[in-house]
Structure 1
Amino acid sequence: MTYTSNQFIAFFGATGGCTNACLVHTLNAGLHATALARTPSKLTDMLHAQGVSQSTIDAQLTIIKGDIADITAIKSVLFSNKDGNAIIASQIISGVGGTPQMRWSIKKPVTIDNPEICATTMNNIMKALREIYTEYPSTTQHKPSISVISTTGISDVHEDVPYGFKSFYHVALADPHKDKKEMERLIAENMAEADESTQLFRGFVAVRPSLLVGDQNIKKGKGWEKLKVGQEDKPAVGYTVHRADVGQWIFEQVIKSGGESYFGQRITLTN
Structure 2
Amino acid sequence: MSDKSNSTIAIFGATGGCANSTLVRSLLAGYDVSALARTPAKLTSQLLAQGLPQETLDQHLTIVQGDATKVENVKRTLLLDGKLVSFIISGLGGKPVFQKSLRKPVSIDNPDICATATETILNALREICAENPSAAAMKPLLAYVSTTGISNGPEDVPFGFRFLYHVLLAVPHVDKRKMESIWTSHMAQPEASERLFRGVVGVRASLLTGGIDYKSGKGWKTLRVGVEEKPAVGYTIARADVGEWIFEQLIKKDGGEWVGKSVTLTS
Residue aligned with 1:218, SS = coil
**d(CA) in 2 for partners of 1:166 and 1:204?**
27
- The answer on whether the counterparts of 2:232 and 2:265 sit within 8 Å (CA) in structure 1 is yes
**Matched residue, 1:253:** 249
Q: CA deviation at 1:79?
A: 1.3
Residue 240 of structure 1 pairs with residue 236 of structure 2: yes
**d(CA) in 2 for partners of 1:179 and 1:224?**
27
**Matched residue, 1:64:** 64
Residue 118 of structure 1 pairs with residue 114 of structure 2: yes
- The answer on whether the counterparts of 2:98 and 2:107 sit within 8 Å (CA) in structure 1 is yes
In the alignment, which of 212, 215, 229 is matched to residue 211 of structure 2? 215
| Matched length | 267
Q: Deviations over 1:216-253 (max 9, x none)?
A: 31222111110010100110001100110111000000
Residue aligned with 1:220, SS = coil
**d(CA) in 2 for partners of 1:51 and 1:25?**
12
Q: Which amino acid aligns with 1:44?
A: T
In the alignment, which of 188, 192, 212 is matched to residue 188 of structure 2? 192
**Matched residue, 1:133:** 129
Q: CA deviation at 1:68?
A: 1.2
- The answer on whether the counterparts of 1:203 and 1:260 sit within 8 Å (CA) in structure 2 is no
**Matched residue, 1:42:** 42
1:164-179 to 2 correspondence within 5 Å? 164-179=160-175
Please identify, of 164-173 and 3-12, the stretch whose mean Cα deviation from structure 2 is larger. Answer: 3-12
- The answer on whether the counterparts of 2:227 and 2:262 sit within 8 Å (CA) in structure 1 is yes
**Matched residue, 2:150:** 154
Q: CA deviation at 1:255?
A: 0.6
Unaligned 5+ runs, structure 1: none
Q: Which amino acid aligns with 2:42?
A: K
**Matched residue, 1:263:** 259
**d(CA) in 1 for partners of 2:43 and 2:139?**
27
Q: Deviations over 1:118-144 (max 9, x none)?
A: 001100000000000100010111110
Give the superposed CA RMSD.
Answer: 1.0
**d(CA) in 1 for partners of 2:86 and 2:113?**
24
Q: Which amino acid aligns with 1:15?
A: T
Q: CA deviation at 1:174?
A: 0.7
Q: Deviating runs (4+, > 4 A) in structure 1?
A: none
Q: Deviations over 1:22-73 (max 9, x none)?
A: 1000000011100000000000000001111111111101000001122111
- The answer on whether the counterparts of 1:7 and 1:87 sit within 8 Å (CA) in structure 2 is no
Q: Which amino acid aligns with 1:74?
A: V
Percent identical pairs in the alignment equals 53
TM-score when normalising by structure 1: 0.96
**d(CA) in 1 for partners of 2:225 and 2:4?**
30
Q: Deviations over 1:97-136 (max 9, x none)?
A: 0000100111111000000100011000000000001000
- The answer on whether the counterparts of 2:236 and 2:266 sit within 8 Å (CA) in structure 1 is yes
Q: CA deviation at 1:4?
A: 5.2
TM-score when normalising by structure 2: 0.98
Q: Which amino acid aligns with 2:105?
A: P
Residue 51 of structure 1 pairs with residue 51 of structure 2: yes
**d(CA) in 1 for partners of 2:96 and 2:104?**
12
**Matched residue, 1:31:** 31
- The answer on whether the counterparts of 2:4 and 2:30 sit within 8 Å (CA) in structure 1 is no
**d(CA) in 1 for partners of 2:186 and 2:72?**
22
In the alignment, which of 172, 176, 182 is matched to residue 178 of structure 2? 182
Residue aligned with 2:230, SS = coil
Q: Deviations over 1:143-176 (max 9, x none)?
A: 1011000000000111100001111101111111
**d(CA) in 2 for partners of 1:143 and 1:176?**
30
Unaligned 5+ runs, structure 2: none
In the alignment, which of 96, 101, 118 is matched to residue 100 of structure 1? 96
